[in-house]
Chains A and B, each alone.
Chain A
């Protein structure tokens, strides 16, 4: 494995690392809103600038921040091309069969691509700077209102956090299994569709079995450490936001309001 899994937590001491998880998630949600509301070139420009600052302050490096974009580059290109060719069939530049690229299509394609990229970058910063358990505990506090509807928010948060903390381990395991099967002559690089389908089983079966085994052992260990679903656990108190956190909340909110009102 030459590359780390995308979005894996990387410990650090930057101001973004030190923000409380619930505030980070809250800011993330506001920013999501801002990205979805953005319509004009100036709106996007401001958001791109802001994302740049975010990457700078979090000290995670441009490469890490963009890693998810790189991984999904083909997805982005397909979305872009689809929008370009199919969005505005009324007055296309040219028409070749069902393909009708137009100015509207181009703009829509750019819109969507930029939105997806922004979302991925911001989401990545959140994941990379926040430890999984903290992240879910942050979610838990934000999910609290759902308790009114008797939804088991703690269990949901616990499942999410444990699942996330196992992602790197499972990635490593999947990588080892893949290598073991290649060494046994399995081929994952074949172009033929039939071969591709056949190559799935030697990977999927062992990976699932390994994941189940882990889940089994972990649930036993959690039980042995006194975890029970029928009783309230002690909870982390996040406390009041610090100065920087207020600044972050206010900045994000202003960004969102600006997108709605002006840009």
Chain B
């Protein structure tokens, strides 16, 4: 499923002192199976962007197209949209409400007309994917779990619908290091299985490692859009605009400053290490 934004404009709270142009003239296309990282300072319009793609907001002008069809057309099937596009909002743990884990995870499947068995197997699969023992947790109340576990239950509820596109808004904020790593590995696995991923994150290290493309917004406008390596290689310009780059990239820049020969598109630890070993051997 491809996603296209065609000169999209959107304004928040028009006619009050709080008014601000949230998005100005945004155009880009995401092809099926891509892993796109979305970056930008708080208030740059990232969250608005994903809400427009998920059909939760309507653009003032311009169009949001899924597989070439405008999602804001009157005869566009909204249920189809919500089924194909899954959204993990910031703090998804807040959306749990059912009495049991099983019912909460199955919530989004209610409207699909699936058989009982099919629903159950989808729920089981999603919970297992998020690292739970289905039989042990299905009858428990979602509120009994810790914060991190609740988040995983909520995400299982979104994955159960088997979306083709998964949108994530700061999914790893507030997780501890091990939780972060485990979650990112899972997202990568989904992506390799063909799911399109759009992930908002401030964590440049995570994006450098996992995203193949980076879109950066600044003051509601498209600031950068390109292959992760290329986008991050322009470190000075990004930092000037308040966008952080990965630690490996920063370290590579420090090495370059000291006169070492380091590639500008070194953004991951593994790449950096290889070059440091070469430097070390050369020095000795």
Contact = CB atoms under 8 A, between A and B. Distances in A.
B138 to A, nearest CB: 18
Contacts of A182: 56, 82
B16 A185 contact: no
A134 B94 CA distance: 32
Nearest to B12: A2
Contacts of B158: 183-184
A127 B115 CA distance: 52
Interface in B46-76: 51, 54, 56
A186 B110 CA distance: 9
B171 interface: no
A181 B86 CA distance: 11
Nearest to B92: A180
B199 to A, nearest CB: 16
B134 interface: no
A196 interface: no
A182 B111 CA distance: 12
A206 B16 contact: no
A242 interface: no
Contact of A183 (B13, B15, B56, B110): B56
Contacts of B259: none
B156 to A, nearest CB: 12
Contacts of A181: 95
B89 A201 contact: no
Contact of A185 (B13, B14, B18, B161): B161
A217 to B, nearest CB: 13
A64 interface: yes
A3 interface: yes
B105 to A, nearest CB: 10
B259 to A, nearest CB: 50
A176 B94 CA distance: 10
A173 B94 CA distance: 9
A205 interface: yes
Contact of B89 (A4, A10, A180, A202): A180
A49 interface: no
B16 A4 contact: yes
A63 interface: yes
B56 A185 contact: no
A10 B17 CA distance: 7
Interface in B140-174: 143, 157-158, 161
B13 A184 contact: no
Contacts of A10: 16-18
B100 to A, nearest CB: 13
B275 interface: no
Interface string A163-184: 0000000000100110111111
Given A179-B56, A179-B89, A202-B107, A184 B95 contact: yes
Contacts of B111: 185, 187
Contact of B97 (A12, A179, A185, A206): A206
Given A202-B97, A205-B97, A206-B94, A183 B85 contact: yes
Contacts of A1: 12-13
B87 interface: yes
B198 to A, nearest CB: 13
Given A10-B16, A185-B111, A176 B82 contact: no
A148 interface: no
B51 A184 contact: no
A241 interface: no
A63 B15 contact: yes
B56 A4 contact: no
A37 interface: no
B125 interface: no
A61 interface: yes
Contacts of B109: 185
A209 interface: yes
A179 B51 contact: yes
Q: Max chain A CB contacts within 10 Å: which of B12, B79, B85, B95? A: B95
Contacts of A61: 15-16
A102 to B, nearest CB: 40
Nearest to A179: B56
Interface in A127-181: 173, 176-177, 179-181
A2 B86 contact: no
19 contacts: A2-B13, A4-B18, A10-B17, A63-B16, A176-B89, A179-B89, A180-B92, A182-B56, A183-B82, A183-B158, A184-B157, A185-B82, A185-B108, A186-B107, A202-B97, A206-B95, A206-B96, A206-B97, A210-B94
The 10 closest A-B pairs by CB, nearest first: A205-B97, A183-B87, A184-B108, A180-B95, A179-B56, A185-B108, A180-B89, A185-B82, A185-B111, A206-B97
Given A64-B16, A176-B94, A183-B89, 9 more contacts: A10-B18, A177-B94, A182-B82, A183-B85, A184-B158, A202-B95, A202-B107, A204-B97, A209-B94
